[in-house]
């Protein structure tokens, strides 16, 4: 166990240092995405208040968390597979799950600054009051971990070109066809029902309830759906990495 923890710590440091030039740019892009999401939806929807404003103010940090895991993480892994650096990493005498844990840690850390910025900008833009629960940080970590695990699994299982196409489709779905910044009942019933078994809606519900606990609550069903997606994708990604070894 001690050796595995040491390997995890060293690999996390190695990944952070290896991408030390790119990571600040990713954080800046995440910040721009957070601000753009808050202000952009505000322009499209006009002056709003009440629960609609809370949806937008809490939806922006959720989008930031999801995009870093579902879009940027698979893009970076697909690029590493194309360059051959991912295959080289697999030759190191380190358990595959330690590789996975180190990568998921890095992407979770990258997602957090933009998420915090989105919360502040949302509060200022829509003049809403949040009721932040004590468990919002572990909830955000769970959402970020689940998104990164799903994205990592896609990049590990699919060829790089298909993984890139997946990320572009995901951005489209998250922004326009997911109940993140608007209630699920505004979508067609079949799409709302589909989101009950997909991970995006539970991610949004968890973050929304953590930031505005007096208005929103998270139910057991969506939480179990999110945990199942996270656990399943971590297992799939680990299996894919072991197979590559």
At 243 the pLDDT is: 65
**The predicted structure's pLDDT at residue 227:** 92
pLDDT value at position 1? 60
Q: Which residues pair with 212 in a beta bridge?
A: 131
Identify whether the C-beta of residue 86 lies closer than 8 Å to the C-beta of residue 80: yes
**142 touches 206 (CB < 8 A):** yes
* Structural domain span for residue 78: 4-244
CA distance 87 to 92: 10
Q: Which helix (H) or strand (E) holds 48?
A: none
Asked if residue 57 lies in contact with residue 125, where contact means CB atoms within 8 angstroms, the answer is: yes
Distance CA 102, CA 16 (A): 9
- Cα–Cα distance, 42 to 130 (Å, whole number): 18
- Provide the pLDDT for residue 193: 92
| pLDDT band at 38; cut points 50, 70, 90 | confident
Q: Using CA atoms, how far apart are residues 209 and 201, in angstroms rounded to an integer?
A: 12
Residues 6+ apart with CB under 8 A from 199: 146, 147, 150, 225, 226, 229, 230
Question: Per the structure, how many domains does the chain have?
Answer: 1
- Residue 86: the pLDDT is 75
The per-residue pLDDT for range 110-163, each reduced to its tens digit, is 878 888 888 888 888 888 888 889 998 889 888 888 888 888 888 888 888 888
Q: Write out pLDDT tens, residues 191-211.
A: 999 999 999 999 999 999 999
């Amino acid at each position: 166990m001690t050796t595995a923890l040491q390997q995890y710590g060293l690999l996390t440091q190695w990944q952070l240092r290896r991408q030390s030039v790119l990571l600040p740019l990713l954080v800046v892009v995440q910040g721009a995405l957070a601000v753009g999401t808050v202000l952009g939806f505000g322009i499209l929807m006009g002056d709003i208040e009440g629960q609609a404003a809370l949806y937008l103010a809490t939806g922006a940090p959720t989008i930031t968390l999801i995009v870093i895991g579902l879009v940027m993480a698979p893009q970076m892994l697909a690029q590493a597979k194309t360059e051959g650096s991912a295959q080289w990493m697999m030759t190191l005498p380190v358990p595959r799950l330690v590789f996975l844990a180190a990568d998921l840690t890095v992407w979770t850390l990258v997602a957090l600054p933009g998420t915090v910025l989105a919360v502040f900008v949302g509060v200022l833009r829509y003049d809403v009051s949040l009721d932040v629960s004590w468990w919002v940080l572990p909830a955000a970590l769970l959402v970020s971990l689940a998104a990164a695990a799903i994205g990592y699994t896609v990049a590990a299982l699919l060829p790089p070109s298909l993984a890139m196409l997946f990320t572009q489709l995901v951005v489209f779905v998250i922004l326009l066809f997911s109940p993140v910044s608007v209630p699920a009942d505004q979508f067609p019933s079949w799409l709302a029902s589909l989101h009950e078994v997909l991970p995006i809606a539970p991610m949004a519900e968890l973050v929304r309830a953590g930031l505005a606990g007096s208005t929103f609550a998270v139910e057991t069903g969506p939480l179990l759906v999110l945990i199942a997606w996270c656990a399943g994708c971590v297992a799939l990604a680990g299996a894919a990495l072991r197979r590559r070894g």
